[in-house]
A and B are shown apart, each in its own frame.
Chain A
Amino acid sequence: MSYRYMRIIVFFDLPTTTSSDLKEYRKFRKEIIRLGFFMMQESVYVRLALNASVERSIIEKVKKVKPPKGLVQVLSVTEKQFANIQTLVGEVENETLDTDDRMVIL
């Protein structure tokens, strides 16, 4: 198996006017967290994928839990491209492990 780490980024904008909209929003957010995504910033979630085939299968899973309304977009980039991200203002906070280490010592 080859290891060509990729990042999948999900962007979403969901309507929040009615309570059923909110319910759909919460449901979608929970489902993608369950799939291993974590919040990069509000409405932007990201996940590490081992290689391109894993990446495709994860996107298929996201499609299965997509909400009925709103705007949801998915973008995959390579780990190298993702690592080039520049933080201009603020600080990145994240509890989810997102390195590509094989061995994690806690």
Chain B
Amino acid sequence: MTWRTVHITKRSKLDLRMNHLVVRSKDHTTRIHLSEVGLLMIETTQVSVTTALLSELSKQKIRVVICDEKHNPISELLPYHGCHDCSKKIITQFNWDDGFMKALWSNIIFQKIFNQRQVLIAKKCDKYYIDLLSSYLSDIALDDKTNREGLSAKVYFAGLFSNEFIRGDETVTNAALDYGYQIILSCFNREIKICGYLTELGIHHKSQHNPFNLSSDLMEPVRPIVDVIVYDNKFGAFGKEEKRIVQSVLHKDVFVNNKRQVLTNAISIYTKSIMDALLYKDLTKIKWIQYEL
């Protein structure tokens, strides 16, 4: 199990030596054993990386995220072959049962709205919004046909931030949320790849422009964890320091299968359990992520 997140923020050279990631900057050299690295986040464009390192990082399934000149994640490294029987997995993925996917989607939405409601309760928001979410929870249709998800998101953000808050506006809060979601999304991308499935082929998200449809589906119930961090910190601006605070979401303690885990590991367990559920058409196999607020 990997446990470190390594952030590269200075001009440096990264290479591979004896199974170690070697980070050489002007005045300092650091070596980190690859078995300890879970995520390598390259936050500046002033870094050179060797291909030997890149291929070894892919082999050991270490997530690599590259940022643009504004330090926003822009790309990531995903291995061609996440596991030994990808081809078989992909064939099963194309044949996932339609009815079951619909049932799964309504379950995912239930978890999402449930978690959103937990956030509102924990943050002592207006009871009006909490009650609305409760009513939405009780009438989620199969495949969320009545779009309770969209409605609840509207109510939830209004309740959590303010009535004037609009998701999609260019505000600091939105930037922070987007950043947090992006990091969670890249976690899911990696886990889905490791399980051997395609991220493009979603269960509900079917956008032709989104290469991460499946990841977007699975991450829904986890989004509120990011919201809480953004809410708690009340960022005035969104710079380097703030990004670091949002990133710390990956090391937050959550519960999965009644065991305490850090979020990255929890996502791994949750993703595998969903894939099992889809394979065996059995909703009880899913290990939902629970969190205290």
Contacts and interface: CB of A to CB of B under 8 A. Distances in A.
A88 interface: no
B154 interface: no
Interface in A1-41: 1, 3, 30, 33-36, 38
Contacts of B6: 104, 106
Contacts of A50: 1, 3
Interface string A39-80: 000000001101000100000000000000000000000000
A30 B261 CA distance: 34
Contacts of B247: 103
Contact of B7 (A1, A3, A48, A105): A105
Interface residues of A, number: 21
B64 interface: no
A81 interface: no
Interface in A76-106: 95-97, 101-106
B19 interface: yes
Contact of B12 (A95, A104, A106): A106
8 contacts: A1-B261, A47-B33, A50-B3, A54-B1, A102-B4, A103-B248, A104-B4, A105-B7
Given A36-B20, A104-B6, A106-B10, 7 more contacts: A33-B18, A35-B19, A36-B36, A101-B4, A104-B4, A105-B244, A106-B23
Q: Closest 9 CB pairs between A and B?
A: A36-B33, A96-B31, A34-B19, A97-B32, A105-B7, A104-B6, A102-B251, A33-B18, A95-B31
